[in-house]
Amino acid sequence: MRQWGRRLENPAQFDISRLRIVGEWGQASRYIGSRWESVGLDLLRAGVDGQTTLGILGVCTDPELQGLLASTGSKNPDVVLVLGGDHEAILQPADLKWSLDVASYRQISARVLDALLEQVSQLGESLRALLPPEASGLPWRTRDGIFVSPKTYLNQRFLTSSENLKQEYPIEPSEVLFMTVETFGFYEPLPGWPTARELARLDGSARGLAQIDTADRYYHLGAGVAGALVSLERSIFDEEAAIDPAEEADRLRDFLKSVSPPSTAMAVDRLGVRMRQRRELSRQLRDLTRSSMSFASFAAALVEAGLASADELESDLRRRFTDLYRSLVEAEEVEIRKAGRELLAKGASDVEALDQLDRRRDTFARRLRARAQVAIRALRE
């Protein structure tokens, strides 16, 4: 039950977990991560004090190489630095991590890089191609790498936090290369930033946006609010819509006319109620497909067809067949969404359409299993 008259928490007091929940209404983490891969890589290429760099391999910008490394089932670095040593080259993995609290030591482990070099020949070939002629024949060795992160208060505090210290492999200060980021230059190209600036202005915090921690806080809020306003204009059966930076500020102002008093806290609170309701409906929609045929059922069909052994680990089967399974599930989801839109065109609401589709769950399951059998037979031929 809604507690009318309760005091709303000031967004400045939101902890990082809540900020990320709000931000994911507009995929804030994805936008920031992609932007940091570009900006962080450029900063690395501009040079690192005290290091002689023979080459920098941007794994994160090479989709083909990324796919090959991912197929090993191992963590892989975003970047591999080739450093000059004493009559040798040193390979050092680096991971572009915007927030250190989600960093994994395996992404900068020399042992993991050794394994990747052994399993994926193209990785070594790509690294050799970077070397200048005079260094092309040098032997090389690997060493543990670094995380490349923006110099924020949260990242610096994380290094001495109990959360970091209780990890199996706590991140050491020497394993982090902090970079200074020009705030406006970083965020300006991102969807959600116009809304972030409006929210900061609304709260009297616009001057603070020059500080990276304040800007990051408001970007998560801005992307989340912008994403929620776009999503709530559409049915759960519609395709996901992107945030259009040219429209988001006007959309926010229109929404704030219904919010009294207009504030970031009130906007987030109001949208949070509606997004929780939408998330539950979306979960029910996903369940229509995913409960029709689990991966375990699909794996059993593969074993029965002789394409897999009953002794194989599920993780191995997923590595081999997850793309096929996902394509089948996604194709079924497309058709279910289409059926939902047809019901909406006849006057049904999202809730009513979901209820009608749920009654056809067995039909969807039979159709998906039949398609899986056709796909499995094709593999055998």
**DSSP H or E segment with residue 116:** helix 110-119
Closest CA to 123 of 140, 135, 104, 100: 140
pLDDT for residue 144: 94
pLDDT for residue 172: 94
pLDDT reading at 6 higher than 70: no
Name the band, by pLDDT with cuts 50, 70 and 90, for residue 53: confident
Read off the pLDDT of each residue in 161-185 and give the average, rounded to a whole number: 94
Read off the pLDDT of each residue in 166-192 and give the average, rounded to a whole number: 95
pLDDT for residue 4: 40
3-state secondary structure of 38: helix
Question: What does the chain come to in residues?
Answer: 381
Taking the C-alpha atoms of residue 147 and residue 104, their distance in angstroms, rounded to an integer, is 9
Residues whose CB is less than 8 angstroms from the CB of residue 330 and which lie 6 or more positions away in sequence, other chains included: none
pLDDT for residue 1: 36
Q: Which residues pair with 95 in a beta bridge?
A: 147
Taking the C-alpha atoms of residue 118 and residue 123, their distance in angstroms, rounded to an integer, is 9
What are the tens digits of pLDDT across the range 16-34? 899 999 999 999 999 999 9
pLDDT for residue 336: 94
Q: Which amino acid is residue 50, in one-letter code?
A: G
Bridge-based pairing of strands 176-179 and 140-142 is unpaired
pLDDT for residue 5: 45
pLDDT reading at 10 higher than 80: no
What residue segments make up the domains of the chain, in order of their start? 12-23+185-277, 47-181, 291-380
What are the tens digits of pLDDT across the range 306-341? 998 888 888 888 888 988 999 999 999 999 999 999
b/e per residue 254-280 (b: at least 16 CB within 10 A): ebbeeeeeebbbebbebbbeebeebee
pLDDT for residue 188: 96
Residues whose CB is less than 8 angstroms from the CB of residue 168 and which lie 6 or more positions away in sequence, other chains included: 105
Q: Which has the minimum average pLDDT: 44-48, 360-364, 367-371?
A: 44-48
Q: Taking a C-beta distance cutoff of 8 angstroms, is the pair 147, 100 a contact?
A: yes
Q: Mean of the per-residue pLDDT values for the chain?
A: 91
3-state secondary structure of 150: strand
What are the tens digits of pLDDT across the range 258-269? 988 888 999 999
pLDDT for residue 376: 93
Taking the C-alpha atoms of residue 376 and residue 365, their distance in angstroms, rounded to an integer, is 16
pTM higher than 0.85: yes
pLDDT reading at 106 higher than 60: yes
pLDDT for residue 314: 85
What are the tens digits of pLDDT across the range 217-275? 999 999 999 999 999 999 999 988 889 999 999 999 999 999 888 889 999 999 999 99
pLDDT reading at 95 higher than 90: yes
Taking the C-alpha atoms of residue 117 and residue 119, their distance in angstroms, rounded to an integer, is 6
pLDDT for residue 261: 84
Residues whose CB is less than 8 angstroms from the CB of residue 42 and which lie 6 or more positions away in sequence, other chains included: none
pLDDT for residue 7: 58
